[in-house]
Structure 1
Amino acid sequence: MNQTHPTIPTPSRRGRIALLASRWHPELVQRITGAATQELHRLGWTAKQIELHELPGAFEFPLYALRLAEAGQHQALIACALVVDGGIYRHEFVAQAVIDGLMRVQLDSRMPVFSASLTPQHFHEHAVHQQFFHEHLAIKGVEAAQACATTLAAHERLAPLAG
């Protein structure tokens, strides 16, 4: 990935980040989590501060995210999945439920939650699509990590206003 690295604002305190990973299409989801982890390292988080949590699918993310938020041990969470159209409409409902649930967790817990849970409109398991998503998902992992760092820095700047 020959991507330039813009200057990303990062918080002065880098706490633990949870990465949720769906086991559906693991070879592609790993591209998201691997790129996100690598970018978080580049931005100053250590290996001990980044935790990978594997779940059967994206549908399980919201409840698990809520439990992680309630435990209060993480600064943020990044959910990583690929919800694909297998020829039935269920994928749209799953994707919407996951995004709605993650947003609810974020608003209720006040812990930033990021989604790199992607739902391509047309996904086929042939070599051309596999190659495209192999590259595209790595970019999405980097973008999720950068959004996480930037948002945490923005929240940090708001902290004095809350007092």
Structure 2
Amino acid sequence: MAGFGEAELTTVDARGLRVGIAATRWHAELVDHMVGRAVAAAEASGVTDVVVVRVAGSVELPVVAQALARRCDAVVALGVVVRGETAHFEYVCQSVTDGLTRVALDASTPVGHGVLTVDTIAQARSRAGLPDSAEDKGWAATVAALDAALTVRELSAEATSTR
């Protein structure tokens, strides 16, 4: 994480889209807040159909994101993975990132990656969209996924109209 350059919190006109949010139960205080920020971002973007589901941990996010991608226009994955004393952190982070990318590509459904991969809880708090946070990854991941969903929809419509 560079720690600078976060895009301004914006919205898009996503009326008519359905968004699915998959969030972990680990680090509930932070993830619950991120879910609230993701829902707020969706609603601020005009989305009225938001599905929120919870999973045990970050490794479970890709398979649930895949199920959501079958029924939603955009998906957001939220969680917190904190580095420990073993290599487990690297395996989890790589697995989650690869899995979410695969879901997005296989389903042609944007997946917002809002899984915080940090060295400390303080770093997670700084990115979780709390009142004193420097960043708001729940909001940012949601708007990014909705924006991409609108682009995919536009490209699909263009492809259909040129046939």
User: Which interval holds the TM-score relative to the shorter structure?
Assistant: 0.7 to 0.9
Q: CA deviation at 1:155?
A: 1.6
User: Is the 1:58–1:81 Cα contact (8 Å) retained in structure 2?
Assistant: yes
Tell me, yes or no, if structure 1 residue 151 matches structure 2 residue 148. Answer: yes
| Partner Cα distance (1:66, 1:56) in 2 | 16
Structure 2, gaps ≥5 residues long: 1-6, 130-135
- 1:23 corresponds to which residue? 25
Tell me, yes or no, if structure 1 residue 75 matches structure 2 residue 66. Answer: no
- TM-score when normalising by structure 1: 0.81
- 1:133 corresponds to which residue? 124
Amino acid at match of 1:43: S
Alignment of 1:12-161 (within 5 A): 12-14=15-17, 16-46=18-48, 49-69=49-69, 72-120=70-118, 122-124=119-121, 129=122, 133-138=124-129, 139-161=136-158
| Partner Cα distance (1:64, 1:11) in 2 | 22
Q: CA deviation at 1:150?
A: 1.4
* 1:130-149 CA-partner distances (Å, limit 9, x unpaired): xx633521211111121122
Q: CA deviation at 1:161?
A: 2.5
User: Is the 1:116–1:141 Cα contact (8 Å) retained in structure 2?
Assistant: yes
| Partner Cα distance (2:62, 2:98) in 1 | 8
User: Is the 2:110–2:146 Cα contact (8 Å) retained in structure 1?
Assistant: no
| Partner Cα distance (2:82, 2:155) in 1 | 38
* 1:51-110 CA-partner distances (Å, limit 9, x unpaired): 1111000101112222333xx321111000001112222011101101101111111111
Tell me, yes or no, if structure 1 residue 9 matches structure 2 residue 7. Answer: no
Say which SS state the counterpart of residue 71 (structure 2) adopts: coil
Say which SS state the counterpart of residue 128 (structure 2) adopts: helix
- TM-score when normalising by structure 2: 0.81
User: Is the 1:31–1:134 Cα contact (8 Å) retained in structure 2?
Assistant: no
RMSD in angstroms over aligned alpha carbons?
A: 2.0
Relative to structure 1, the CA distance from residue 78 to residue 98 in structure 2 (aligned partners, 3 Å threshold; closer, same or farther) is same
**Greater relative contact order (Cα < 8 A, sep 6+):** 1
Q: CA deviation at 1:12?
A: 5.0
| Partner Cα distance (1:54, 1:142) in 2 | 17
Percent of aligned pairs sharing the same letter: 30
User: How many aligned positions are there?
Assistant: 148
Structure 1, gaps ≥5 residues long: none
